[in-house]
């Protein structure tokens, strides 16, 4: 599930949409503080799902909500519903704190092992990853290796194309990241 800030929807540098491009069973909702989407609330309450919000532990007041090991906490009788907030860090923190329907959900916090490869916007913190980078890491942790790889390659192709459109330097017309994604997709069965 992707909860979008209204400022994020049309940004050409938005990576949340890459999740929806590569994950078949995706839900996308625009965030409204005072009027949450009723369909989204129904999905969150649906008994077939086990919702988990992905967000940094540093911003979680109730540390008992924080999940360290996703495979260990999974209920095998329910479908995992990963919730990502898509917006600037300031917007994401606001959405996280002001959404009552998220306040009782477990929080999965990841510790990235590498610096973000997202170069389209600057962050004050090197540990802050783009939405797609986080989703790829979480999918891998959830045992969805193929989906994680597909999303990572799609992110790299997106970044390559975006940066080529913004640079004055001589570009590589062979687009190696895009070609790697296309090659991978030939064998993809997806999520």
Question: Within a domain: residue 60?
Answer: yes
CA distance 49 to 172: 44
Question: Within a domain: residue 141?
Answer: yes
Residue 79 C-alpha from the chain's centroid: 17
Question: How many Cα atoms sit within 13 Å of 4 on the Cβ side?
Answer: 18
Question: Within a domain: residue 178?
Answer: no
Percentage of the residues of the chain whose pLDDT score is greater than 90: 53
Question: Within a domain: residue 174?
Answer: no
CA distance 136 to 115: 14
Over 80: is that where the pLDDT of 167 sits? Answer: no
Question: Within a domain: residue 177?
Answer: no
Q: Which domain holds residue 30?
A: 2-147
Residue 127 C-alpha from the chain's centroid: 15
Q: Among 75-84, 88-97, 120-129, which is the least confidently predicted range? A: 120-129
Question: Within a domain: residue 32?
Answer: yes
**Count of domains for the chain:** 1
Question: Within a domain: residue 173?
Answer: no
pTM across the whole model: 0.82
Instruction: For residues 64-71, give the mean pLDDT.
Output: 87
The pLDDT of residue 72 is 82
Q: Could you read off the pLDDT of 16-39 as tens digits, one per residue?
A: 999 999 998 899 999 998 999 999
Over 90: is that where the pLDDT of 113 sits? Answer: no
More confident residue, 169 or 7: 7
Question: Within a domain: residue 186?
Answer: no
The rounded mean pLDDT for the chain is: 85
């Amino acid at each position: 599930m992707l909860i979008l800030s209204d400022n994020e929807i049309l940004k050409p540098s938005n990576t949340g949409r890459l999740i929806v491009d590569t994950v078949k069973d995706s839900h996308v909702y625009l965030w409204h503080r005072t009027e949450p989407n009723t369909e989204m609330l129904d999905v969150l309450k649906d008994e077939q799902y086990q919702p988990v919000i992905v967000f940094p532990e540093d911003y979680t007041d109730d540390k008992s909500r924080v999940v360290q090991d996703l495979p260990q906490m999974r209920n095998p009788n329910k479908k995992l519903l990963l919730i990502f907030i898509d917006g600037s860090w300031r917007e994401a923190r606001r959405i996280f704190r002001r959404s009552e329907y998220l306040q009782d959900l477990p929080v999965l916090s990841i510790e990235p092992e590498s610096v973000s490869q997202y170069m389209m916007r600057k962050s004050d913190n090197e540990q802050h990853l783009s939405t797609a980078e986080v989703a790829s890491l979480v999918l891998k942790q959830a045992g969805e290796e193929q989906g994680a790889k597909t999303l990572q390659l799609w992110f790299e192709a997106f970044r390559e194309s975006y940066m080529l459109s913004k640079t004055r330097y001589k570009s590589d017309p062979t687009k190696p990241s895009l070609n790697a994604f296309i090659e991978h997709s030939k064998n993809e069965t997806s999520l």
